[in-house]
Amino acid sequence: MKVLYVCTELFPLLKTGGLGDVSGALPPALRDAGCDVRVLLPGFPPIRSGVGPSRLPRSYPLQLPAGQGPRVEDLGLSEPPVVHPATLPGSGLAAYVLEARALFDRPGNPYLDTHGDNGIRFALLAWSAACIGHGLDPHWQPDVLHCHDWHTGLAPLYLRQMAMPGPPPAASVFTIHNLAYQGIFPDSLFGQLGLPEYLFGIDGIEFWGQVSFMKAGLQAADRITTVSPAYAREILEPEQGCGLDGLLRARSAVVSGILNGVDYEVWNPSRDGVLMHPYDWDSLAGKVKAKAQLQRRMGLQVRRDAMVFGVVSRLTEQKGLHLVEALTDELVSMGAQLAVLGAGDIPLEQAFLRAAARHPGRIAVDIGYDESLAHAIMGGADVIMVPSRFEPCGLTQLYGLRYGALPLVHRVGGLADTVVDASAQNLEAGFATGFIFDEYTVQGLRTALHRALRLYAQPPAWARVQQIAMRQRFDWGEAAAQYTSLYRSLKPDAAHA
Ligand code: ADP
């Protein structure tokens, strides 16, 4: 089974969030599950400089025939775009890097639309995926294109259009990592995409008078997946469907949820290079030292008895952190500490910084992106807070489980699928792994906080829950097996790798 995995970020080369972690771990897991996987990435600077040379000798110039695919005159390129073979560091997987310097060789966040050309540059990425699907590399033609999030949404559509009128040579799977980010562009973009007029309509990729790349993926892919079973159900309803729930309901027979996993090579307290004193469920003394290490690093009072609440997150409305911010003074008055790492909405950043200024030594806030500090917080925190309004899967609660930083989460999406609430019944049965609240309000979060504080006051009970949490497994092998059987349902005759 040959699989082309198409994405825009991949840990450790480039990561802005969960998609980077997924793309770093899932392709090698698919290989281990028996797939012949290659990854297609746009040539952002950290990707170009991070990949290794390929054993494959050839590069492939992209064809841009008039009337099909992105219009060449709108790309603003002095040289034709080329797909270069490369090798991913670590996994050694084969990759293709789409080189179009004027479009991708830019500093900063890869999704910033600084030149107002995000539509056309991600259309080119999708076009290159479809070309590979149609045999651009004559030595390796995929059976399946596995596309991720809106940046790749046009790929399943181009794949179909290129094959008109017959069936496309490769099947397509489109995975939604976050339905809220849709890749919506002005209607004027449509004319630049090389798609037939009839596709600019409600049954095509038009969305309230604009162009939606997410909708293109949802319309054209053979299968749609998302990253947890609960989110797969939630997006069929208006509340979480972001305006696309009608289309998703119409396609519900091909929608499913496959839970993300954890890369336990990267997130593992027993051999985490950031922690001076590694630990595991049978050596929790190291966790006490990790707490002191975190407190020193972030300028918190070094106190073993202070319960430390941690946050590692994008600071956006989705993540529900305004609820945490509203409780900062209360947390401190209860003797707890708060360690926040994140960046995003300026008002929320400033509100957290003000809370830190009010409570020096008790609240520490680091505005920015810091992979090493993220590990230190998982190691040092007693509780990791993920009170998201919606959460397709969520990875930080899974990391919290592995590090014995018990997750405190809103009962939604992947959070509901992965955390077991410390109710009296679950505690007694030995199932509890964290704290869940239902009501998405400050009061809802407060009640869960109080429950966490009460359990923390009983060290043996707390340690028991920590040990159960740390033993949970969310293996990529399991997810890879599910994706592989999905691919096989589309291409039953594809050869085994
Ligand atoms: P999302 O993809 O919605 O941001 P996830 O929970 O799926 O949320 O994944 C977030 C990933 O990004 C995790 O690996 C988390 O550790 C990381 N992360 C988020 N914010 C930061 C930050 N400020 N610094 C370092 N890592 C961060």
Q: Are residues 458 and 314 in the same domain?
A: yes
| Ligand 1 center–CA 171 separation, angstroms | 31
- Closest approach atom of ligand 1 to CA 16: 12
Q: Is residue 268 part of a domain?
A: no
The CA distance from 121 to 472, in Å, is 41
Cα 473 to ligand 1 centroid, rounded to whole Å: 19
Give the sheet arrangement for strand 184-185, strand by strand: 184-185, 210-212, 206-207
User: Is the beta carbon of 17 within 6 A of some atom in ligand 1?
Assistant: yes
> Which residue puts its alpha carbon closest to atom 17 of ligand 1?
17
Mean pLDDT of successive 10-residue stretches along the chain, which has 497 residues: 98 96 98 98 97 85 92 91 96 96 94 95 98 96 98 98 91 98 98 97 97 98 98 98 98 98 97 97 95 98 98 97 98 98 98 98 98 98 98 98 98 98 98 98 98 97 98 98 98 82
Calpha distance 34→39 (Å, rounded) = 15
* Residue 395: closest CA among 266, 260, 226, 280: 260
Looking from the CA of residue 341, the nearest atom of ligand 1 is: 23
254 and 300 co-located in one domain = no
> Which residue CA neighbors atom 22 of ligand 1 most closely?
369
Q: Is 230 found in the same domain as 377?
A: no
CA–centroid distance, 394 to ligand 1, in Å, is 8
Atom nearest to 371 CA in ligand 1: 25
Reading the block at residue 250, the tokens are 């119409």
In 3D space, the residue among 295, 348, 358 whose CA is nearest the CA of residue 325 turns out to be 348
21 lines ligand 1 (CB under 6 A): yes
SS3 296: helix
Question: CA-to-CA distance for 130 and 216, rounded, in angstroms?
Answer: 13
Question: DSSP 3-state assignment of 184?
Answer: strand
Task: Answer whether 313 contacts ligand 1 (Cβ < 6 A).
Answer: yes
Q: Are residues 241 and 332 in the same domain?
A: no
Ligand 1 near 261 CB (within 6 A): no
- Number of structural domains found in the chain: 2
Q: What is the 17 CA–ligand 1 centroid distance (Å)?
A: 4
Cis peptide before 492 (omega within 30 of 0): no
* Atom of ligand 1 minimally distant from the CA of 15: 12
- Do 404 and 481 lie in a common domain? no
Residues 256 and 388 in one domain: no
The residues that bridge with 344 in the sheet, in sequence order, are: 315
Q: Is 275 contained in some domain?
A: no
- Ligand 1 midpoint to CA 244 (Å): 25
Nearest CA to ligand 1 atom 26: 371
**Domain shared by 290 and 317, yes or no:** yes
Asked if residue 441 is part of any domain, the answer here is: yes
Taking the centre of ligand 1 as the mean of its atom positions, its distance from the CA of residue 311, in whole angstroms, is 10
Which CATH number goes with the domain that contains 192?
3.40.50.2000
Q: Report CA-CA distances (Å) from 472 to 191, 337, 400, 461.
A: 50, 26, 11, 17
CB-based contact 211:241 (threshold 8 Å): no
Q: Is residue 167 part of a domain?
A: yes
Same domain, 35 and 150: yes
One domain, residues 89 and 114 = yes
- Predicted local distance difference test score (pLDDT) of residue 497: 60
Q: Is residue 269 part of a domain?
A: no
Strand partners of residue 40: 6, 96
Asked whether residue 279 is assigned to any structural domain, the reply reads: no
Cα(418)–Cα(401) distance, rounded to whole angstroms? Answer: 9
Ligand 1, residue 368: give the atom nearest the CA: 23
Residues 49 and 179 in one domain: yes
CA of 469 relative to ligand 1 center, distance in Å? 20
Rounded distance from Cα 308 to ligand 1 centre (Å): 19
Q: List, as one string, the DSSP characters of 395-457.
A: SHHHHHHHTT-EEEEESSHHHHHH--B--HHHHHHT---BEEE-S-SHHHHHHHHHHHHHHHT
Residue 266 belongs to some domain of the structure: no
206, 229: one domain: yes
Unique residue bearing structure tokens 């049965």: 429
Structural domain that includes position 183: 2-261+476-492
Q: Is residue 324 part of a domain?
A: yes
Q: What's the CA dihedral at 477, 481, 486, 488 to 10 degrees?
A: 130
Q: Identify whether residues 227 and 359 lie together within a single domain.
A: no
